[in-house]
A and B are shown apart, each in its own frame.
Chain A
Amino acid sequence: MSATAHNNRVIDCRHLRFRWRRRGPLILDLESLTVDQGEMVFIAGPSGSGKTTLLNLLTGVGVAEEGRVAVLGQDLAAMGGSRRDRFRADHIGYIFQLFNLLPYLSLLENVLLPCRFSRRRRLKAAGGRANDQRATAADTKPAGGQRTALAAEARRLLAHLDLGDPYLLKQPVAELSVGQQQRVAAARALIGGPELVIADEPTSSLDMDRRESFVQLLFAECARQGATLVMVSHDRSLEHLFDRSILLDQINRAACAPAGPER
């Protein structure tokens, strides 16, 4: 899209300014924020630092009034709303702090949820992560064959995340432990090989001793898929595990206001 975009730059934010309302207070005012491909980046975002706003802009749910947000070299602000939604479906895996799973879907269906919204991720997941060129071949598979391939890929991912027990797959997702739910969410974020995985406080609902192992699993699987990981948290106890950490309240010149619409 842009000639100046770095080839291996996954996130490239420049001169970013955002406010909720015209003439309202600035929420976000970033000179620059970049993340390279394959990086595991920790963003420390205490409340009031503009964390939510930044996540909205990175996922293309919101648009900055000024500046440029490029993800994978594509300027999100230049896209229309529905194209941004499709872009998010295709390229971004997202993990919430809590309540990641739809209770009316089975565990496997939850993992495969992004494949319903993104053809690209569906084909990639069905074709096998290892060689993407098979994706086109997977498209010609009969529907049943594709479904089997998708389920196999989901099971493979779950096994990597220590959820290989076939007994678990039959459980209603609401009966999984929080730690299990978060790992299912990780599998969902990773299915179909999105280039960028964003995790919003994914560990804050976990026990202390589970947090590190969760992050390590996430690291391992992102590394295996070549995905870039951005984890946002106000809890800095895990910061040391990451390649790099960014302190949002320091780079955000509009930060500090503990009140405001950050809520």
Chain B
Amino acid sequence: MMATLTLAWKSLLNRRYTVGLTVLAIALAVALLLGVERLRYEAHSGFTATISDTDLVVGARSSPVQLLLYSVFRMGEATSNISWRSYRHIADHPRVNWTVPLSLGDSHRGYPVLATNSDYFQYYRYADQRPLELKQGTQFEDVFEAVLGYEVAQKLGYQPGEEIVIAHGADDVAFVRHDDMPFTVVGILAPTRTAVDRTIHIPLEGFEAIHLGWEAGVPLPGRQVSADDARERDLTPKTITAFLVGLDSRAASFQLQRYVNNYPREALTAILPGVALHQLWDLLGTAEQALRLISWFVVGVGLLGMLSAQLSNLEARRREMAILRAVGAGPRYILMLICGEALLLALLGAVLGTVLLYAMIIGAGGLIEARFGLFIGLGGLRPMELAYLGIVLLAGLVSGLIPAIRAYRQAVVNGISMRM
């Protein structure tokens, strides 16, 4: 057995360029297939892990998916704000246990700024009901203090005590900065692998203060306020972007959702995060299916390449087959040789493709995380990925049967003679 394997291996090495290309094609296809699958999986688990234990998210009237994206994932922008009065009113509903107000819109060097209050640190949960933890420093207490997400601090190299300037809007354009009222970093959160890591947290009062005199969206001349003056003012916000709600029982979710959606004084939308996430997956499902289909097609093309290479090789390998026959190889040996070769190439392709996948995760994972907030884990292959690899191997074996059966027939028909 070992002897025939080494023989098959030497034969492959002899054709290493065509064989190498075949393996490379399969490897790239496998890397694409696994990459798409892993991206899909990581996106799902990453999104799902971002919010936990929150029963409702309330914002201005919009589509549930949009509300979820901007309030929880800091993606896109809110269409409009909701009034502080409505917020307080709903927060006082008897079934409501806690609320966390959220105000969004500003940024610092590309990272979104979230204005909230201390309830955020107390009630916000991610993954499996895990609370936020401070890695360094403390929560904000003063108006002009900021707590950074783990990634923000890492990437920008901030330490507690440093001052940061917040830019107006999501783009960091120099002339719309709130540079008259810098914030002092007082704390840095431990990593969560969620959108929190990329967020800068400031108190609602600070958010209100830096926008004094900005009612028109830009600083109006003559209406600027100094930081000290701002402290004197009433810094209770007039509006917020959205708020998270925790109820006394999960069963009350639908009741309160109906209550919010029919709220008479303002057009509001309340969503159940899990339901909205499902809607998001449904929305993305078609695109995912298309991507998956394309990657399977690419795998098919790679295997077809192997099939055509093997078939055209048979002609050139007649001499090899005849010699093997003469020294005692049976037709079944020839069949196994060709089939085994196909399986081996598929296996090499699968292994190389997996290596490529991990190389890409190591090489580009940071970039993907920075650009799209998607953390791609380096963990082992999951059952689904192993199943995909199994399917690729099986398909390789089956495609190898075609040239193998041809070679088998040739071996039987040609007899001992070498017909060229």
Contacts and interface: CB of A to CB of B under 8 A. Distances in A.
Interface of A: 52-53, 55-56, 59, 61-62, 81-82, 85-86, 88-90, 94, 96-105, 113-114, 116-118, 188, 200, 263
Interface of B: 3-4, 7, 10-11, 13-14, 319-320, 322-323, 325-333, 415-420
A188 B327 contact: yes
Given A85-B329, A113-B323, A117-B327, A56 B415 contact: yes
Given A56-B415, A56-B416, A105-B10, A81 B330 contact: yes
Chain B contact surface mostly: helix
B418 A88 contact: no
Contacts of A55: 415-417
9 contacts: A52-B415, A55-B415, A56-B417, A88-B328, A89-B328, A90-B328, A99-B322, A100-B323, A116-B4
Given A55-B416, A99-B322, A104-B14, 6 more contacts: A52-B417, A96-B326, A99-B323, A102-B11, A105-B7, A113-B327
A252 to B, nearest CB: 17
A103 B316 CA distance: 12
Contact of B325 (A61, A86, A99): A61
A85 B328 contact: yes
Given A81-B330, A82-B332, A96-B323, A200 B417 contact: yes
Contacts of B11: 102, 104
A94 B3 contact: no
A188 to B, nearest CB: 7
A261 to B, nearest CB: 10
A103 B332 CA distance: 23
B271 to A, nearest CB: 66
Q: Sorted from nearest, which 10 A-B pairs have the closest CB atoms?
A: A89-B328, A104-B14, A85-B330, A117-B328, A56-B415, A116-B3, A94-B326, A61-B416, A114-B327, A99-B319
Given A59-B326, A104-B11, A116-B3, A99 B418 contact: yes
Nearest to B323: A102
B420 to A, nearest CB: 8
A116 B13 CA distance: 19
Contacts, number: 76
Contacts of A59: 326, 416
B413 to A, nearest CB: 10
A168 B19 CA distance: 29
Contact of B327 (A81, A94, A99): A94
Nearest to B9: A104
Q: Which of B3, B10, B328, B333 has the most CB of A within 10 A?
A: B328
A81 B320 contact: no
Contacts of B420: 99
Q: Which of A55, A59, A188 has the most CB of B within 10 A?
A: A59
B13 A81 contact: no
A42 to B, nearest CB: 19
B328 A114 contact: yes
B17 to A, nearest CB: 13
Contacts of B325: 61
A146 to B, nearest CB: 12
A53 B329 CA distance: 19
Contact of B415 (A62, A86, A99, A103): A62
A192 B11 CA distance: 24
A60 B306 CA distance: 33
A86 B328 CA distance: 6
Contacts of B416: 52, 55-56, 59, 61-62, 94, 200
A240 B419 CA distance: 29
Contacts of B320: 102
A59 B325 CA distance: 10
Contacts of A101: 323
Contacts of B14: 103-104
Contacts of B419: 263
A118 B3 CA distance: 11
A61 B325 CA distance: 8
A82 B417 contact: no
Contacts of A94: 326-327, 416
A81 B326 contact: no
Nearest to B328: A89
A117 B323 contact: no
A105 B9 CA distance: 11
A116 B330 contact: no
Nearest to A105: B10
Contacts of A52: 415-417
B328 A82 contact: no
Contact of A116 (B7, B319, B415, B417): B7
B418 A89 contact: no
Q: Which of A53, A55, A86, A88 has the most CB of B within 10 A?
A: A88
Nearest to B420: A99
A119 to B, nearest CB: 10
Contacts of A88: 326, 328
B13 A117 contact: no
Contacts of A61: 325, 415-416
A118 B322 CA distance: 17
Contact of A117 (B322, B329, B415, B418): B329
Q: Which of A56, A98, A104, A105 has the most CB of B within 10 A?
A: A104
A3 to B, nearest CB: 28
Contacts of A118: 327-328
A204 to B, nearest CB: 13
A104 B415 contact: no
A201 B56 CA distance: 89
A118 B330 CA distance: 12
A73 B13 CA distance: 41
B158 to A, nearest CB: 62
A61 B328 CA distance: 10
A4 to B, nearest CB: 27
Contacts of B323: 96, 99-102, 113
